[in-house]
Amino acid sequence: MAGDTLAPAKINLFLHVGAPGADGYHPICSLMVFADAGDRVTLHEGDALAVKVRGPFAGQLTGEGDNLVLRAARALLAEARGPQVPKAFILDKRLPVAAGLGGGSSDAGAALRLMREDMTPRLDDAELEAVAARLGADGAACLWGRPVVAEGRGERLSPAPGLPILEAVLVNPGVSVSTPAVYGAFDAASVFGDVEPPTLPEAFESVEEVAGWLATTRNDLEAAAVALAPEIGDVLATLSDEPEALIARMSGSGATCFALCQSEVEAETLAERIMAMKPDWWVQRCRLGGPWT
Ligand SMILES: C[C@](O)(CO)[C@H](O)COP(=O)(O)OP(=O)(O)OC[C@H]1O[C@@H](n2ccc(N)nc2=O)[C@H](O)[C@@H]1O
Ligand SMILES: Nc1ncnc2c1ncn2[C@@H]1O[C@H](COP(=O)(O)OP(=O)(O)OP(=O)(O)O)[C@@H](O)[C@H]1O
């Protein structure tokens, strides 16, 4: 049986990061939402487990064997009870790689959801989530693509408060930043954040209210990422200067930043102006919320 699905971009609306534990991993508290834009993963029967990558960012992925789509597929097959039909994937890579958008984790999540459809017997949601969590800290959150507050290393999920759909613009200056390198620079600065979950309103009435509340939160990795890739500072300064941007902040470990806007028209205006100003930057207007799949 064939199928295809969106692997949505993940945005950390805030990301609070504490001091690392003995294993080197950091406790976090993050409000994650998902975009109606992302990669596309297609599954069909094949002679052998394989992935073909195409799309604008295919060239940034080397080594088919390391692709998170295949790592996810292998991890799921290891859990399968009974013989399974070989799967072939097509990955349309529309998100920049190592960009703070959780693209690899979201691709893995999409592959797991698609494969589970065809399994007999099927793994349940908790079993699928356990497989996703083993693939990376963002794995569990990116499996379902619904707004969540993530704690622990990122695997402890609770439902996010009622958020309106958020009109947004994503901007990446064309630099890849490695997540371990950003956490390393964060440690070197020794300025650790408080990861007690902030008091979240039960619901937000408007995007202005969301932006106002987010201004009381942070992305603790921003300074470390800007130190490694000063272009991120240019993106944040450029977005912050624009009247349509209610708030501008980096997502995850960067380099992609987001701006929230009051309406779709304002987001489109902002996206077009940034594209005209900075033709080399990746600019994507989108809506944040989820699930979109
Ligand atoms: C930056 C975030 O994307 C925010 O959502 C995540 O914290 C990172 O998620 P991820 O890319 O899925 O992370 P992984 O692939 O599991 O880990 C990459 C590296 O990030 C660091 N890492 C990750 C998560 C965490 N809570 N603490 C860490 O220190 C570790 O050095 C690890 O080797
Ligand atoms: N399908 C995939 N898509 C993206 N990256 C992949 C994929 N498979 C393997 N990778 C590898 O995973 C690493 C992280 O890529 P990804 O795009 O998920 O980063 P990210 O957006 O910064 O993630 P996060 O926000 O979770 O830190 C890259 O070094 C990349 O080579």
Q: What are the residue ranges of helices labelled H in 21-95?
A: 68-79
140's CB contacts (< 8 A; 6+ apart) are 129, 132, 133, 150, 154, 155, 157
pLDDT at 33: 98
Given a cut of 80, is residue 288 above it in pLDDT?
Answer: yes
State yes or no: is 23 an active-site residue: no
Categorize the per-residue pLDDT at 161 as very low, low, confident or very high, splitting at 50, 70 and 90: confident
Using the predicted structure, report yes or no on whether residue 221 has a pLDDT greater than 70. Answer: yes
Q: What is the pLDDT at residue 134?
A: 96
The one catalytic residue among 39, 92, 107, 138: 138
Please state the ipTM of this predicted complex.
Answer: 0.97
Residues recorded for the chain: 293
Residue 186 has a pLDDT of 98
In order of start, what are the domains of the chain with their CATH numbers?
A: 3-159 (3.30.230.10), 166-289 (3.30.70.890)
The tokens describing 274, both together, are 């940034």
**Atom 12 in ligand 2: residue holding the nearest Cα:** 104
Mutation test residue for ligand 2: of 11, 51, 92, 97, the one with most atoms within 8 Å of CB? 97
Angle at Cα 258 formed by Cα 253 and Cα 261, nearest 5°? 160
104 is in an annotated binding site: yes
Question: One of 10, 87, 93, 220 is an active-site residue; which one?
Answer: 10
Is 10 in the active site?
A: yes
**Which one of the ligands is nearest to 41 CA?**
2
Output the residue whose Cα is nearest ligand 2's atom 24: 102
The residue among 206, 123, 196 whose CA lies nearest residue 163 is 206
List, for residues 53-94, the tens digit of each pLDDT value.
999 999 999 877 789 999 999 999 999 888 888 889 999 999
Give the Å distances, CA to CA, from 136 to 62, 131, 179: 19, 10, 11
Residue 137 alpha carbon to ligand 1 centre in Å = 5
Pick the atom of ligand 2 nearest to 142's CA. 26
Q: Using one digit for the tens of pLDDT, what is the confidence trace for 172-219?
A: 999 999 999 999 999 999 999 999 999 999 899 999 999 999 999 999
Which residue has the CA at smallest separation from atom 5 of ligand 1? 252
Cβ-based neighbour number of residue 268 at 10 Å: 15
Provide the pLDDT for residue 1: 61
pLDDT value at 95 more than 80: yes
Nearest alpha-carbon partner for 259 in 286, 280, 281, 291: 286
